[in-house]
Structure 1
Amino acid sequence: MNRRRFLQTAALAASLPLQARCESATATRIIDTHTHFYDPTRPGGVPWPTKDTPLYRTVLPADWQALANPLGIKETVIVEASPLVEDNQWILDLAAREKCIVGFVGNLDPNDPQFATNVKRFAANPVFRGVRWRGNLVQLDANEDKVLAGAKTLAAHGLELDLNGPPATLPHAAKLAADVPDLRIVINHVGAAGDPQKLKPEWQENIRLIARQPNVFMKISGMPEQVRSPEGQAPRDVEHYLPVLDHLWECFGPDRLIYGSNWPVSDRGLPYDAMFKIVSTYFQGKGREAAEKYFWQNSKTAYRWVERA
C-alpha cells in the first residue's frame, strides 16, 4: 500500500461512526465472501462497471479495508464480474500482493470451447476457488450439455460454483445440484428475493426447492440494494429484512448460510457498516455458534478458501 492510499484508508476509517469503529466482532473471524475489485485506469480499461455509474472508479483492497477492518472483517473472497478471461489473472496477481484475499471466484463461460483448459490453468493457483455464472450470461436451461460438462469439470478440480440470477433460475440450479452432487453451489444475493416486504410466492417456493439439495449454500448478500429506495438509503432496521432472513434460516439452517457484502455495489443500498449491522444483529440473535458458522465456518466448507501466511 503506498503512502497516499494509506492516508486515504486511515481517513475513511476515522470517518466511520464511533460505534462502528469500537464494535467488537460478531464472530471470532469474519470472511466477506462477495467483493469486487477493479481499476478503470489500467490499460484497456474495464468492461464493468460502465462509465455512466458511480461505481466507475478505482476499487482496490485498501478501499474495502478502510470500511471493513474497523468492523473486525479482515479477509475476503473476490467474485469476478468481468467476462474477459485474462481478468481472472489480473485478480490472481492482485491476490499475490494482498494477503487479505483468501479466495477468488472467477468468471469463465462453460460455452467457451476453452472452458476446461482455462479451469485447469487457473485452478493451479490455490486462491482460485471456483467460478460464477450469471443468469444473463450463462442460462442453465440452455446448452444443458455444456453446462453439465462445465459443472462436472469444476467438481473434478474441487472447485465450487456461484450462481446469480432471478428466482426462476433456482429450479434449474436445483437440478444441476442433483445431477452433480459433488459440486458445491453457492446462490448469490439471497436468490434475488427483491424487497423483503413484497416477497413473491415464486421466490419462497423455489428457495424451499433448492434448499433440499445438501450441496447448495445461500449467500446473504445484496439485500439492501434490492429495495427500491434513493441511492444508499435503503431501510436500516433488521425488521425490514426479516421475511427474507427468517425464510432462509428456516430452509437452510445454520450450516449453509454465508456472509457476503457485494461491496461496492452494496453502496447503492446502504453504507458498508449499516449493511453489516443488519446481518450482525440477526445472527447474534441466533447465538454464538450460529454466528461463527455464518460469518466464516460455512464459507470455509463452501469455498475451501486458503489460509494466507
Structure 2
Amino acid sequence: MRRKTGVCLRSRTRCNRPLRMVNELRGILKKGAISMIIDTHTHFYDPFRAQGVPWPEKDDEILYRRALPEDYKALAVPEGVTGTVMVECSPWVEDNQWVLDLAAADPFIVGLVGHLEPDDPEFAAHLERFAADPVFVGIRARVDVAESHGLAAAEMLVAHDLELDTGLHEGVPALAARFPELRIVVNHIGGIPIDGGPPDPAQLELMRQAAAHPQVYCKVSGLMDLRSQVKPAPTDVDFYVPVLDALWDMFGEDRLIYGSDWPVSDRSGREYADIQRLVMTYFTARGEEATEKYFWRNAKAAYKWIDRVG
C-alpha cells in the first residue's frame, strides 16, 4: 500500500485532502469516533513525600512540583486521553513499586515501563518481582543494551514477554536482530533534532537501521520540549513535518506511537493540548485508521498494556 506523504500539510494548494477535511477528522477524534487515546510517555512523582525524589532537582522551577495522576488527568482527559503508560523516571528500585501502588488505586494507568538497570546484580530478582504485576509492561534502559549485561537482560525480557524502551544507540539494530521476539520502543524519535528543515540523512541512518526490524517501534514524543531547536516551540505542524515524514517513511502507520512526555513537556512553554494538537493534525491527515493506530493500537502491540476499565 502506498504511503501518504506530508505534502498536504506543507503545500495546501497542491493538496487533494483540503484543510477542511483535516479539521473534520480532528472533530471526529474529539467526538469519540477514535475509540481511545493512550499516552505512552508520562512521569509521576511527588517531591514532597517523606523520602523525596532523586529527580527533578529542587532548583528546577518547572518540574519540581507534584506530578500525580490527578494532575495529569485534569489536562489530558479533556483532550480525549483514556489511559497512560507511565515511564519511571527514578533510578530508585522501590519507586517502581510506588508507581504500581498508584496504578492499583487508579485504572487510568494501564502500564508501567519500569526503571531497572541491566548491570544491577539484582536485576533478575527485581524483574521477576515486578513482572508478577500485569501493569508492569517493560523497562527503560539508559545504557547500551547490546553490552553483555544488556544481552542477558534482553533474554529475561523476552522470557517474561516484556518490552524495552531505549534511546537510539548503535547497539539497538544488533539487539533487534539477535532477539526478534523482543519488542523495542525507541523513545523521543531517537533524538533527531527538529529545526524546521529536512533532517540530516546521517542522523537518520541509525534510525533507519533500527526500523528495518519489524519489532522496533518509534515513540513520537518530546517533539516540543526535547527535539525542537527553537524555543518556545513552534505550534505549526509544518515546522515538524520534515522529520515526521522521515519517520513515517521508515516506520509506516503500524509502528509510530503517541507519547506526550508530560510533565517534562512543560519545558516547551506549551500546553498539553498544543502538544496533542500537533500530532493529531499530522496523523488525522492520514485518515482514521492511521490515527487510531498511532493513538493506541500500535501502543497495544508494543506494550501489551491491559485495559483496566472496559
For the aligned pair, the TM-score class normalised by the smaller chain equals: 0.7 to 0.9
Contact 2:196 2:238 survives alignment (8 Å): no
The alpha carbon displacement at 1:197 in A equals 2.6
SS, match of residue 253 in structure 1? helix
| 1:5 corresponds to | none
Work out whether 1:139 is the aligned partner of 2:128.
no
Contact 2:195 2:229 survives alignment (8 Å): no
Work out whether 1:158 is the aligned partner of 2:157.
no
| 1:292 corresponds to | 292
CA separation in 2, counterparts of 1:90 and 1:252? 34
CA separation in 2, counterparts of 1:239 and 1:197? 7
| 1:49 corresponds to | 56
The alpha carbon displacement at 1:38 in A equals 0.1
Work out whether 1:228 is the aligned partner of 2:236.
no
RMSD: 1.7
Contact 2:30 2:79 survives alignment (8 Å): yes
Aligned AA for 1:149? A
The higher-RCO structure (CA 8 Å, 6+ apart) is: 2
| 1:70 corresponds to | 78
The alpha carbon displacement at 1:33 in A equals 0.4
Aligned AA for 1:150? A
**TM-score under structure 2 length normalisation:** 0.87
Work out whether 1:92 is the aligned partner of 2:91.
no
CA deviations on 1:192-233 (whole Å, 9 max, x unpaired) are 111243533222111211110111000000011122344xx2
CA deviations on 1:53-95 (whole Å, 9 max, x unpaired) are 1201000011111111111112000000111100000000000
Aligned AA for 2:183? R
The alpha carbon displacement at 1:268 in A equals 1.2
The alpha carbon displacement at 1:307 in A equals 1.3
The alpha carbon displacement at 1:131 in A equals 0.2
CA separation in 1, counterparts of 2:196 and 2:79? 28
The alpha carbon displacement at 1:26 in A equals 7.2
Structure 2 gap segments, 5+ residues each: 1-25
| 2:44 corresponds to | 37
The alpha carbon displacement at 1:31 in A equals 0.2
CA separation in 1, counterparts of 2:116 and 2:161? 16
> Number of matched residues?
279
Cα 1:157–1:307 shift into 2, 3 Å: same
Aligned AA for 1:139? D
| 1:272 corresponds to | 272
Structure 1 gap segments, 5+ residues each: 1-18
Contact 2:195 2:230 survives alignment (8 Å): no
- Identity between Structure 1 and Structure 2 (%): 52
Contact 1:26 1:280 survives alignment (8 Å): no
Aligned AA for 2:129? R
SS, match of residue 254 in structure 2? coil
